[in-house]
Amino acid sequence: MAIENPLVEQCIDNCVHCVRWCAECRDECLTMDPETMTECIRLCGECLEVCRTCIVLLAGSSPFAHRICAVSAELCYACATECEKYEGETMQACAEACRRCAASCNEVAQAGPLRRAA
C-alpha cells in the first residue's frame, strides 16, 4: 500500500536524509577529535536511531508514529544545535538535515495519529 499523505512522505524523506548525515557526521567526529566532540557523537547516534524508527512507523502507518515523531523533533533540534557549533561541511550539512527533519517531525506530531487507508 502506498502512502498518500504528502506530510508523511516529506517526513520520511527528511528522516532518511537525517539518518545519512548523522551517520556521516558521527563518523567524521570519531576520526577528527572524539574527546572534544563526544556530545556531537552521542546526539548523532541517538538522532539517527530515532529517525530510523520514525521511518518504519510512518511507512507502516503506525498509530504511534506521531508520538515518536515528537521525540524525534526534539532530538533532531538538539543534534542540529550541537553540530552547528563546529566548522566543516559535514557538520553544517548534518545540522541543516536535522533542522529540516525536526520541522517535518514536529508537523507530523502536531497532526496527531495517522489515519489508515480503508
> What's the pTM value of the predicted model, to 2 decimals?
0.91
Count of CB atoms situated within 10 Å of the CB of 23? 15
Residues contacting 48, CB < 8 A, separation 6+: 18, 19, 22, 23, 26
> Domain span at residue 65?
6-111
Q: Return the C-alpha cell found at 75.
A: 532530538
Q: Return the C-alpha cell found at 13.
A: 524523506
pLDDT of residue 81: 98
116: in domain:
no
pLDDT of residue 114: 83
> Which CATH number goes with the domain that contains 12?
1.20.1270.360
Written as tens digits, the pLDDT of the chain (118 aa) is 456 799 999 999 999 999 999 999 999 999 998 899 999 999 999 999 999 999 999 999 999 999 999 999 999 999 999 999 998 999 999 999 999 999 999 999 999 988 755 4
1: in domain:
no
At 82, is the secondary structure helix, strand, or coil? Answer: helix
